[in-house]
Chain A
Amino acid sequence: MFKTYFKIAWRSLKKQPFFTFLNTFGLSIGMAGALLISLYIYDEMNYDTMFADAKRIYRINVDIKFGGEARELAVTPAPLATALRSDFSEIEAVTRFRTWGSALLRKVNADANVKEEQTTFVDPSFFDMFGIDLLAGDRNTALERPNTLILTKTAAEKHFGINKAIGQNVRFNNDKIYTVTGVIDDFPQNSFLRNHTVFMSMLSYADSEIVNWGGNNYQTFIKLIPNADINDIQAPLRGFLGKYVIPGVQQFIPGVTEEQLKVAGDYLVYSTIPLTDIHLNSHRVAEVSANNDIQSIYILSFIAVFLIVLAAVNFMNLSTAQSLKRAKEVGVRKTLGSNKTELIRQFLVESGLITFLSLALATVMAVVALPFFNSLADKDISIPFLSPIFWLILIGSVILLGLFSGGYPAFFMSRFSPVKVLKGGGQSSVGGGNVRNSLVVFQFSISVFLIVSTLVVYQQLKFIQGKDLGFSKDQVLIVNDVFVTGNKANTFKEEIKQLGFVKNATLSSYFPTPSNRSDTTFKPEEGNSSHENAISMQTWNVDYDYVSTMDFKMVAGRDFNREVGNDSTNIIVNETAVANMGFSPEEALGKRYTSTLGEENPQYFTIIGVVKDFHFDTLKEGIEALSLRLQGQKNAMAIKLEAGNFSNSISSIERVWNTVAPGQPFDYYFMEDSFNDTYQAEQRLGKIFIIFTILSILIACLGLFGLAAFNAEKRTKEIGIRKVLGASIRQISYKLSLDFLKLVAISILISLPLGWFIMNKWLEDFSYRIDISWWVFVLAAVLAIVISIITVGYQSIKAAIANPVKSLRTE
């Protein structure tokens, strides 16, 4: 029996190559898209699950409001680790990271430095915590002594070779000498340590041993003993404020109590987050690695479901539409004694055949599209062809899809009354028009919604990129690691300023591009010791040329000026800072603040200028309080270039670099690029939106095209009559297209308010955002209409041109 099912299914598919193609093609596009997205989501959901005890590992977070703005940190004080170990029997191990960013490494006897992008100090418990084995070296002693470090395989190979690395001495950032005591495997791409290549022993970092509850600089991870409940430690953990933090702060600000904090609306709350939740759910200051947003996972899941549903809807529509042609077959079969179940089975075999054909095609499509998708999503995903579970899930979902999309047509067709269809009742014998129409409305609603979303995402990105940031980011080249020139940094700067194409140059460690920075608490001179007048500000070390190079606007006071005298104890603050202090810009001038709290003779800084607010974080965040001062180390140089040939300019600058820092890597970037990188996630989202919008529109059009063809065929007779009775080709094609345009119009009415609502929700994430303008909706509507006219028009005109004599011939 089944053999006949297959034979007949195969023949009827072959007999209608056009519909079979539309069905298979639409379905396989949907499947391929959904497959890629699913792999992406699977990858994202499995961050850090590779660590053996990942389920027992948590990170300590802290929410702080202590004068000034509330902040959510991923970093905690250094002594927290010791306190956790002594207070909780539930905790098996504690590991701190003190991330250090990029560092220059060189063999002690070599001249040239090699840059490592991500380095960190780490406690020796690191190995036990994450279950890490050493490829070389002794796990028990590798990080036990100061001035030792371990390398990942890649880093070890780069410097020494894996087998020769142990015992080698390297100079770290032109400073201390470290001994290599271990080599570990590289971390997988979906681990929070993916970009870290150098791990220095925590003992090398003296600050880690000081009991200071005031600074938050350490990512602290804990591992519970098996079967311990994380909820048991939450309450005592919150008690750390009274037990450790307040006594610690009292050293600087005597007399502070927990009650005082509460009264002022301030707080400090420790909490925990499971290691495996960090990648998608943590967006705190000072994350170890950049995280993704669970929202984008939701959006992608929706898109994947949309694609599959759209394709399935097509399938149902085309199948029921075709059933007119099959009606006679059903009638004959029923007359010859076939019952309903057998007919349903027959049609299900047919849809099953199509779904499996589509699966084969979809797999090919996915394989071809994978490299492109990987570069789009910045991933390293492969299709797990060798995993039986993958096949199980894939084939399982395809069978489900086949039943789901084939089910309705099968029941629909098996219901035909044999008497009616054999008499050739034509159109009236095949119903289901309303269901088909609502499915088309559904498809187009989704497509129009996606068009609106794409337009809004792109407008918002354009808005961000074009927004006046309060400074000029164009043509600014930043040279990193200027400190390797030793005391020649200023010479380097002066030589650079001599170059003809250089407008200005400035030394600083801080630039208005998003990066990790820390706040310092400042206290006014005339205030009492209560924290109420204290404000929290970032402090940027700059030089005399900073404000002019960055093109900041002064709103009060003056810029730093060599001629005026010594500005080293003066600061310039931004508008937000004076607002937090409670002054107008003019009032703030001359006020003195200090950041050295609790000492006999604090060093005071005098405000000499107020700079107009500029954006130095992503536009999702607001602007924070900021102060500029001349003191402190400056690690990088910003060079403002004249417009022109940048590659020539860069090689000239590199030549100067090689004279002041021979053998050191010349590392530079354009500020604008760094700025654009910040919005990579949004840009990626934008691109993904565009691609899947096009796909979903394509699928919807395939469906509409098929339906239009069916409709034209169904109405051949009517068209013939109308033509004979005097209708023109134009009138007929207009009438045929109008039926579909009505459906598209309904879809537009449904999806525009929906798009408006949902995209406004998305925009709420941005502190600076566009208002969705009316033309977005007009454009989306016009696009949908034009696309459907093109799709349906061809079929309508074809039907209208046909000779009526043929369609009216009575057999």
Chain B
Amino acid sequence: MLLQLNNIFKWVQQGGQRVFLLKDINLQVEEGEFISIMGPSGSGKSTLLNVIGMLDDFDEGEYSFLDDPIHQLKEKHRAKLYKEYIGFVFQSYHLIDELTVYENLEMPLLYKKHSGAERKAMVADMLDRFNIVGKKDLFPAQLSGGQQQIVGVARALITKPKLILADEPTGNLNSTQGEEIMQLFKQLNDEGVTIIQVTHSEKNAAYGKRIINLLDGRMV
């Protein structure tokens, strides 16, 4: 088992009242799963993803990741865990404008202890794998949206994570580009990477082996 959420609650105080963002979430994710989270705007999809990604706190409940109790860990240990095991893909790619494709891919490695030669090999590997060798010296602004997202996925994968968290990865793309990314995810999943994606599209959700529906912070 990769991770388990038990009775997770998250809320904010608004005018003396608790507004629940997540309400009693129970979720078990096995390694190798491909899960799609669906639901209308404001239903808590992204919040749930951020909680799983340890970017956001929750107020109540238990969360264990690879048998480590996240709710009891210090920030430092959590950071170490997600650096090691989790990769993120964003709707608006979030590449750094001032860095080339090559440098964008290399960046996560800089924050881990990899030697220069190792980094070079790993980046080259990724460039090969996603067929973007020819674009390595271009800046994000010089790429199409689909190409940017491919770089985004490559960047998420370069640290060899067990889990990919994708927040509407195709939201800014046209249908052909979106299709391409989803195929890529499917292929990755077949290779054994666990994927959790948030999506609005029924079609994209269908790529997942399991679909979770959220409404007002609750699983339905």
Contact = CB atoms under 8 A, between A and B. Distances in A.
B45 interface: no
Contact of A428 (B46, B108, B141): B141
Interface in B61-117: 79, 82-83, 88, 90-92, 94-98, 107-108, 111-112
Contact of A726 (B53, B96, B108): B108
A808 B111 CA distance: 19
B92 A810 contact: yes
B111 A805 contact: no
Interface string A687-730: 00000000000000000000000000000011011101111100
Nearest to B83: A726
11 contacts: A426-B97, A722-B107, A724-B94, A725-B111, A726-B83, A726-B112, A726-B159, A728-B111, A805-B50, A809-B46, A810-B92
Nearest to A732: B111
Interface of A: 426-428, 717-718, 720-722, 724-728, 731, 803-805, 808-810
B42 to A, nearest CB: 13
A727 B83 CA distance: 9
Contacts of B94: 717, 720-721, 724, 808
The secondary structure that dominates the B interface is loop
B55 interface: yes
B111 A726 contact: yes
Interface of B: 46, 50, 53, 55-56, 79, 82-83, 88, 90-92, 94-98, 107-108, 111-112, 141, 155, 159, 167-168, 171
B206 to A, nearest CB: 23
A727 to B, nearest CB: 5
B55 A725 contact: no
Contacts, number: 51
A496 B73 CA distance: 85
A810 B111 CA distance: 25
Nearest to A424: B92
A718 B79 contact: no
A810 B170 CA distance: 13
B92 A725 contact: no
Contacts of A426: 97
Nearest to B168: A810
Contact of B96 (A718, A728, A731, A808): A718
A701 to B, nearest CB: 27
A805 B167 CA distance: 12
B97 A728 contact: no
Contacts of A804: 55
A427 B97 contact: yes
Contacts of B171: 810
Contacts of A728: 79, 111
Interface centre among A722, A803, A804, A808 (most CB of B within 10 A): A808
With most chain A CB atoms within 10 A of its CB, the pick from B56, B98, B111 is B111
A256 B49 CA distance: 109
A428 B97 contact: yes
Contact of A724 (B46, B88, B92): B88
B63 to A, nearest CB: 16
A427 B97 CA distance: 8
A805 B88 CA distance: 12
A6 B49 CA distance: 47
Closest 9 CB pairs of A and B: A726-B111, A726-B83, A725-B108, A721-B94, A805-B55, A810-B91, A727-B111, A810-B92, A718-B96
B169 to A, nearest CB: 11
A489 B215 CA distance: 110
Given A721-B94, A722-B107, A726-B159, 14 more contacts: A427-B97, A720-B94, A724-B55, A725-B108, A725-B111, A725-B155, A726-B82, A726-B112, A728-B79, A803-B55, A805-B50, A805-B56, A808-B94, A810-B167
B143 to A, nearest CB: 14
Contacts of B111: 722, 725-728, 731
A357 to B, nearest CB: 36
